[in-house]
Structure 1
Amino acid sequence: MDLFAQTPPAQPLAARLRAANLHEYVGQQHILAAGKPLREALEQGALHSMIFWGPPGVGKTTLAKLLADITDAHFETISAVLSGVKEIRQAVDIARQQAGRGRRTILFVDEVHRFNKSQQDAFLPYVEDGTLIFIGATTENPSFELNNALLSRARVYVLKSLDQEAMLQLIERALTEDKGLGARQLSMDFAAKELLMNAADGDGRRLLNLLENAADLVEDGSAIEIELLKSLLGDSVRRFDKGGEAFYDQISALHKSVRGSNPDAALYWFARMLDGGCDPLYIARRVVRMASEDIGNADPRALGICLDAWHVQERLGSPEGELAIAQAVVYLACAAKSNAVYMGYKAARRDAAEFGSLEVPLHLRNAPTKLMKQLGYGEEYRYAHDEPNAYAAGEDYFPEELSPRQYYQPVERGLEIKIAQKLEHLRHLDTNSARQRRKQP
């Protein structure tokens, strides 16, 4: 059966070339090659509910339609952007009618991550009782965006960006097949194809849309030249979904490159994010976070350098600001590393949450009124500047119900070597002080 035998010629090229069978489907061989679980399920007609997770333009919708065609299942589709519980119920009613005729129904939900929890829950009874086979498509990480109940009933398949081989197949089909541009007898050399593939960045739909735009500007029987593509593409940027998976993957790669003391990789990921259209101010804010989380007091200058870079971006914009951020990124990558403050802060937050509202000891309270002084506020407080070397050895600053903790444990790198030495000296003074507020165990 040819799904597209009646495809209107006015449809966009990407729609006209949508694969009508597995032979035409490009990419995703890691799940569709012979012997792979999804391929075997197809060949046996053993459909199951599933989630297709991958970037735009890699064939999620097309694959769902092929599954329905190959297994002779009714195909019903809704979009989470445009649909609600009403549309879900309508799809369920259609699935029940099809079941009465002895035919299975695949319900394909595009951008399923856009549905809220209650909308996602609406599918569960019908998935469980076999009324429908659920296939959801998402560009977002299902672990974060989908309910555990729905995830537990569906298998997740990761679809990847199209590689060069797959994109070349698409270009060849577009230029030679009658339902594509074949009748126009257009040609392209490899350099032009390569530029087109780079601009598409693994997105098959974008690839075909760009090719169609270029084809509209040339005569039949002529070549699509690289200069034409350059003028058409302009400053076309790589894929970078500012709220999606690629966004978080790339900022994660930048952060881990800094933490791993690799300035070259850090610069690469910084450049990739800029190339993808990321706001430099967002990167500047994250770089400040890196300075505190991964460098800390091993090199306190790092935080100031990052804040200065942020200010340069705010005051001067691009490209001066981006260069300042690049300087900060390189400095962080090369700096001594310590997460001691970060780990200590998290430990203190855990204790604050666990132990609740412990009272501030009386000696640490201010006493601005006579009544407060009568109640003992501030009594026996030792003013550090009046003590030898400005340190009140043996003093205690924790709540009475909470034994003193050592949250901050400096590492043996950078300035924290000296900080650790000083803290160890102060602990020695506490241990040997004759004025210990809380006796050592």
Structure 2
Amino acid sequence: MADLFTAKPRAPLAELLRPKSLDEFVGQQHLLGPGKPLRLAFEARSLHSFIMWGPPGVGKTTLGRLAAMVTDSHFIAISAVLAGVKDIRQAIDDARAELDVRGRSTVLFVDEIHRFNKAQQDALLPHVESGLLTLVGGTTEHPGLAVNSALLSRAQVYTLEPLSDADLEKLYERARPHLRGVDLSDPALQLLKGFADGDGRRFLNLLEQVSTAASEKRVEEVDLEFAKRSTSPSLRRFDKGGDEFYWQLSAFHKSLRGSDPDASLYWLARILDGGGDVSQVTRRMIVMASEDIGNADPGALHLAIHAAQAYERLGSPEGEIVLAQAATYLALSPKSNASYAAWDLARAFVKEHGSLPVPMHLRNAPAKLMRQMGYRQAYRYAHHEPDGYAAGQTYLPEGVERPNWYRPTDRGAERALAERQAWQRALDEEASQTEADPSSGQ
């Protein structure tokens, strides 16, 4: 009879169904299907170090265990969230002992390897290079940004994909013997698949939650309404500080720039559905209104700012309508990056040429000595000139030719600016000729 000291807790469904062979593994057939790279490496029992990049619940830890199992290697698992250099040293000592005593190699699985700092990652390098450790890393962040280049050069990077509907269907069939005799209707199953959002672990947890509730209520088949009552919508796959957030935000911006209101609304809905930071969304809309629309529609900037302020006042869900209005307006506004491009050129010029002196005629002259030194002399007040424009007057440092950085497009309101700029250039050219040949102005 089991007592308090020998009884074991019932393992979660996700643990009960953890694959014990490659054939039991669900998903990632682009890596594990016939002739695919990991399948070939596992079958040849010739393992190399590799890093798996993908969302949660797609089998990273399981693949690490299988890598050790199929090669009859010692398996050590550590989490970069909790581990430090001391834990790495302990793993290295264990690997040496395993090799010396049993002649077995070691697979070191590092979960969330992107959480290791440079020193911790560097501590692994010599032992991966010597072959003492076969490193298998798991990460939800892009390895190119989160893992040292030295470590990346010693490991293959494999991208793991979210589980498809068909993959989740296979998990359901395997889970059925463990669901206390409870079946799910197709609508209920589809609901849980949607809540899982490609995460196998989450899907199995939802199945277990629903089947437990149904068993307690003596429900043999779970319908849609029961599934809704016994679960709650999970947030979609989203990480406010990770790749997924910035990918979706980037897709939203590019949809606005590409003048596609439907795609803009889609990515906006995805971000809000995932609990994204709305202030980041409105910030991007304000930037986009100036960067990609600019003077082609100056009202776009006002609308973006007002939308951000309105959301702060209204919150969700009412404020989301304002964001949708702003997004569709920005998407369909005429586009111009002329101001943005001109700003880049101006900054580059200043960086290259340094601090050129302000011309004498542009300097203020509040003191008599300054006026005696020539400050403000020859300055022409634009409001006293015909049409409010002092033709021929220069405003750049001496010796700097007009660079023509700002080149208005012929789209939207910027067309009028382009026409005005051309008119001013013609007046300047006429003034320049008059100055060169005073008799021509008579």
CA deviations on 1:58-79 (whole Å, 9 max, x unpaired) are: 1111111111111112111211
CA deviations on 1:226-252 (whole Å, 9 max, x unpaired) are: 222101233433222222222112112
Verify the 8 A CA contact 1:280 1:322 in the aligned structure 2: no
Correspondence for 1:303: 301
Evaluate the alpha carbon distance shift between residue 130 and residue 335 of structure 1 in structure 2; reply closer, same or farther with a 3 A threshold.
same
Correspondence for 1:413: 411
Correspondence for 1:113: 114
CA deviations on 1:143-179 (whole Å, 9 max, x unpaired) are: 2222222222221111010001111111111112xxx
In structure 1, distance between residues paired with 2:70 and 2:384: 86
Secondary structure in 1 matching 2:110:
strand
CA deviations on 1:179-209 (whole Å, 9 max, x unpaired) are: xx16x22212222111111110100111111
Q: Taking structure 2 as the reference length, what is the TM-score of the superposition?
A: 0.90
Evaluate the alpha carbon distance shift between residue 152 and residue 427 of structure 1 in structure 2; reply closer, same or farther with a 3 A threshold.
farther
Q: Is the aligned partner of 1:170 residue 2:168?
A: no
Which residue of 182, 188, 193 maps to 1:197? 193
Correspondence for 2:207: 211
Q: Taking structure 1 as the reference length, what is the TM-score of the superposition?
A: 0.91
Verify the 8 A CA contact 1:291 1:306 in the aligned structure 2: yes
Q: How many residues are matched?
A: 427
**Larger mean Cα displacement after TM superposition, 131-140 or 346-355:** 346-355
In structure 2, distance between residues paired with 1:401 and 1:152: 51
Correspondence for 1:185: 181
Instruction: Kindly provide the amino acid, as one letter, of the partner of residue 191 in structure 1.
Output: P
Correspondence for 2:22: 22
Secondary structure in 1 matching 2:138:
strand
Alpha-carbon distance, 1:398 to partner: 2.5
Verify the 8 A CA contact 1:52 1:159 in the aligned structure 2: yes
Evaluate the alpha carbon distance shift between residue 222 and residue 418 of structure 1 in structure 2; reply closer, same or farther with a 3 A threshold.
same
Residues 47-62 of structure 1: pairs in structure 2 closer than 5 A: 47-62=47-62
Residues 241-280 of structure 1: pairs in structure 2 closer than 5 A: 241-280=239-278
Evaluate the alpha carbon distance shift between residue 358 and residue 106 of structure 1 in structure 2; reply closer, same or farther with a 3 A threshold.
farther
Alpha-carbon distance, 1:411 to partner: 1.8
Correspondence for 2:148: 147
Instruction: Kindly provide the amino acid, as one letter, of the partner of residue 195 in structure 1.
Output: L
In structure 1, list runs of 5 or more residues that go unmatched.
1-6
**Larger mean Cα displacement after TM superposition, 362-371 or 282-291:** 362-371
Evaluate the alpha carbon distance shift between residue 9 and residue 415 of structure 1 in structure 2; reply closer, same or farther with a 3 A threshold.
same
Secondary structure in 2 matching 1:57:
coil
Correspondence for 1:398: 396
Evaluate the alpha carbon distance shift between residue 370 and residue 47 of structure 1 in structure 2; reply closer, same or farther with a 3 A threshold.
farther
Alpha-carbon distance, 1:402 to partner: 4.4
**Larger mean Cα displacement after TM superposition, 368-377 or 57-66:** 368-377
**Larger mean Cα displacement after TM superposition, 156-165 or 94-103:** 94-103
Secondary structure in 2 matching 1:413:
coil
Alpha-carbon distance, 1:28 to partner: 0.5
Correspondence for 2:72: 72
Instruction: Kindly provide the amino acid, as one letter, of the partner of residue 10 in structure 2.
Output: A
Q: Which of 1 and 2 has greater Rg?
A: 2
In structure 2, distance between residues paired with 1:52 and 1:12: 24
Correspondence for 1:380: 378
Alpha-carbon distance, 1:364 to partner: 2.5
Evaluate the alpha carbon distance shift between residue 358 and residue 38 of structure 1 in structure 2; reply closer, same or farther with a 3 A threshold.
farther
Alpha-carbon distance, 1:371 to partner: 4.4
Residues 117-136 of structure 1: pairs in structure 2 closer than 5 A: 117-136=118-137
**Larger mean Cα displacement after TM superposition, 219-228 or 287-296:** 219-228
In structure 1, distance between residues paired with 2:325 and 2:39: 49
**Larger mean Cα displacement after TM superposition, 345-354 or 30-39:** 345-354
Instruction: Kindly provide the amino acid, as one letter, of the partner of residue 129 in structure 1.
Output: S
In structure 2, distance between residues paired with 1:118 and 1:395: 60
Verify the 8 A CA contact 2:213 2:230 in the aligned structure 1: no
Q: Is the aligned partner of 1:226 residue 2:224?
A: yes
Secondary structure in 1 matching 2:137:
strand
Secondary structure in 2 matching 1:122:
helix
Secondary structure in 2 matching 1:123:
helix
In structure 2, distance between residues paired with 1:123 and 1:397: 60
Instruction: Kindly provide the amino acid, as one letter, of the partner of residue 386 in structure 1.
Output: H
Verify the 8 A CA contact 1:64 1:108 in the aligned structure 2: yes
Instruction: Kindly provide the amino acid, as one letter, of the partner of residue 95 in structure 1.
Output: A
Q: Is the aligned partner of 1:85 residue 2:81?
A: no
Verify the 8 A CA contact 1:358 1:399 in the aligned structure 2: yes
Correspondence for 2:353: 355
CA deviations on 1:27-48 (whole Å, 9 max, x unpaired) are: 0011111111221122112222
Give the superposed CA RMSD: 2.2
Instruction: Kindly provide the amino acid, as one letter, of the partner of residue 216 in structure 1.
Output: T
Verify the 8 A CA contact 1:185 1:221 in the aligned structure 2: no
Verify the 8 A CA contact 2:209 2:231 in the aligned structure 1: no
Verify the 8 A CA contact 1:394 1:430 in the aligned structure 2: yes
In structure 2, list runs of 5 or more residues that go unmatched.
1-6, 437-442
Evaluate the alpha carbon distance shift between residue 429 and residue 64 of structure 1 in structure 2; reply closer, same or farther with a 3 A threshold.
same
Correspondence for 1:325: 323
Alpha-carbon distance, 1:350 to partner: 2.4
Instruction: Kindly provide the amino acid, as one letter, of the partner of residue 105 in structure 1.
Output: T
Instruction: Kindly provide the amino acid, as one letter, of the partner of residue 63 in structure 1.
Output: L
Alpha-carbon distance, 1:339 to partner: 1.3
Alpha-carbon distance, 1:435 to partner: 8.5
Evaluate the alpha carbon distance shift between residue 407 and residue 93 of structure 1 in structure 2; reply closer, same or farther with a 3 A threshold.
farther
In structure 2, distance between residues paired with 1:373 and 1:119: 65
CA deviations on 1:293-324 (whole Å, 9 max, x unpaired) are: 11111111111111111111111222221111
Evaluate the alpha carbon distance shift between residue 350 and residue 125 of structure 1 in structure 2; reply closer, same or farther with a 3 A threshold.
farther
Evaluate the alpha carbon distance shift between residue 437 and residue 307 of structure 1 in structure 2; reply closer, same or farther with a 3 A threshold.
farther
Instruction: Kindly provide the amino acid, as one letter, of the partner of residue 268 in structure 1.
Output: Y
